[in-house]
Chain A
Amino acid sequence: MDRIGILALQGAFIEHIKTLRSLGVDAVEVRLPHELENLSGLIIPGGESTTVGKLAITYGLVEPIKEMASGGKPVWGTCAGLIFLARRVQGIEQPLLGVMDLAVARNAFGRQLESFEAEISVPALDAVSQPDERGRPFHAIFIRAPLITAAGDGVSVLSRLDNGGIVAARQGNLLVTAFHPELTSDTRFHRYFLAMIAQGQATP
């Protein structure tokens, strides 16, 4: 059975674990490098990206996660996890994995008062949708959210806001969302990530 790790240094990791377990998947907390062994995939959850980055460096997690990502294991970053996976954050020096060809603006919408909920269109989710879910917008919760300001050629955009801002993207085995599917009861993004894992195993 697939075992998925959730980086549990800080942030909303329990929400991801609960969602995955509700889908019948084995999900475990990861705080130390040896806990990355024998995982089928890794989720880097929302939290404070500066906190997570510092703890990842102190406890030697940066290189093993980079190796996992460049070795083809599926990795999904939500919000702070998106920032952590990106190659570049505008205007701020902070520790990054830098494995995904993205430029990111932190707190791109403003402070907490600008945090919002919105229905967004994510056509790629149709691949994992039940008949009654097909074409349905995804209810996205953005909390002091980042925005992808530039994406490289290898990146496919999965969703944009009305103004063109990129809020979900995929680069091969890497998935990012600027919002928090783990805070809603809609499990399509988690199923999409599980499908990425299944595809990777089918075509090694």
Chain B
Amino acid sequence: MGMDKETGTDAVKRGLAQMLKGGVIMDVVTPEHARIAEDAGACAVMALERVPADIRADGGVARMSDPELIVKIMDTVTIPVMAKCRIGHFVEAQILESLGVDYIDESEVLTPADEEHHIEKHGFKVPFVCGCRNLGEALRRIGEGAAMIRTKGEAGTGNVVEAVRHARSVMGNIRRLQHMAPEEMMAAAKEMGAPYELVVETAQLGRLPVVNFAAGGVATPADAALMMQLGVDGVFVGSGIFKAADPPPRAKAIVEAVTHYNDPGILAEISKGLGEAMPGLEMSAIPESELLAQRGW
């Protein structure tokens, strides 16, 4: 009897994201960071050369990280390793796939390579996660093949306000869809600029058809628990850990906060004595042209 093994299917792409739920995915820039993240209980790491706060500070063009660094991090930890490519840069994605990374983040944190088109993601065997600010954007990315969604938030700011705005927008619009009559769905799809079939599926499920994480500005255990209580499935923490005064205990506390997000007593306990959080940025202090969430559509 020959056994047919099917790889690269929607079920296995979306399935890995399902296994990451209730967990924290941490940005790491060295193998040492990756080990700290794994020891703290991260369910995956994002391998990159600079955390978003440094990308923001440095300016210029931000690109895919050096494959050598990504491979070193893959060799260091047993948990899944993600890496970022530029929006629309399908060759960076091909390179990351050939390295064998577990997930690709087509990310607005890097400088977009294409201002009109995101990557056609169905054609890849490796799964993709993409950012969104609202439900229409999330469903467009899923339409292109994204197997996981995250809020964009505003990366590298240590300010959770944009992640909250984006999560509330997605969740609020799903709640509105659930109350719509079937004949209203096409108008909703037109208005959001989202594929009709995915609008109908989302209304039926009462949630996105793929796993949905928060990202962009999470800096404390309370921030992480806030996003979980707003209804996301898990949390990405970028600059929030390794730009803080004492990364290891903060990383562990954020992991525990995502598990016990509904238990204020535990949240109080794990929030004690973590030292300084990363310095935060007020949105109004960022020039419009430097807002990362506006990249992509």
Interface residues of A (CB under 8 A from B): 8-15, 31, 46-48, 50-51, 54-55, 58, 79-80, 92, 106-107, 110-120, 141-144, 161-162, 180, 183
Q: Which residues of chain B (245-273) have a CB below 8 Å from chain A? A: 255-256, 258-260, 263
Q: A112-B102, A115-B7 are in contact. List 16 more A-B contacts (CB 8 A).
A: A10-B22, A10-B43, A11-B20, A13-B21, A14-B21, A48-B20, A50-B38, A55-B259, A107-B78, A111-B80, A111-B101, A115-B12, A115-B16, A117-B12, A162-B2, A180-B15
Residue B23 is within 8 A (CB to CB) of chain A in the complex: yes
Within 8 A of A (CB), among B1-44: 1-9, 11-12, 15-16, 18-23, 38-44
The answer to whether A10 and B15 have CB atoms under 8 Å apart is: no
Within 8 A of A (CB), among B114-148: 125-127
A144 to chain B, nearest CB (A): 7
Taking Cβ atoms with an 8 Å cutoff, the residues of B that contact A are: 1-9, 11-12, 15-16, 18-23, 38-44, 74, 78-80, 97, 100-103, 125-127, 255-256, 258-260, 263
Q: Name the CB-closest residue of B to A184.
A: B11
Instruction: Given A11-B22, A50-B38, verify A161-B103 contact (CB < 8 Å).
Output: no
Contact B126 A112 (CB under 8 A): yes
**Within the assembled complex, what's the spacing in Å between the Cα atoms of A82 and B18?**
17
B126 touches A113 (CB 8 A): yes
For A183, list chain B residues within 8 Å (CB): 11, 15, 18
Min distance, Cβ B28 to any Cβ of chain A, angstroms: 15
Q: Is the CB of A113 within 8 A of B8?
A: yes
B interface, over-half SS: loop
Contact of A111 with B102 at beta-carbon distance under 8 Å, contacts A55-B255, A183-B15 already known: yes
> Using Cβ atoms and an 8 Å threshold, which residues of chain B touch A162?
1-3
The docked-state distance in angstroms from the alpha carbon of A108 to that of B9 is 19
Known: A14-B21, A111-B100, A118-B5. A47 touches B43 (CB 8 A): yes
* Least CB distance, B271 to chain A, in whole angstroms: 15
A161 touches B3 (CB 8 A): yes
Given contacts A118-B4, A119-B4, contact A11 B23 (CB under 8 A): yes
Question: Chain A contacts of B16 at CB under 8 A?
Answer: 112, 115, 143-144
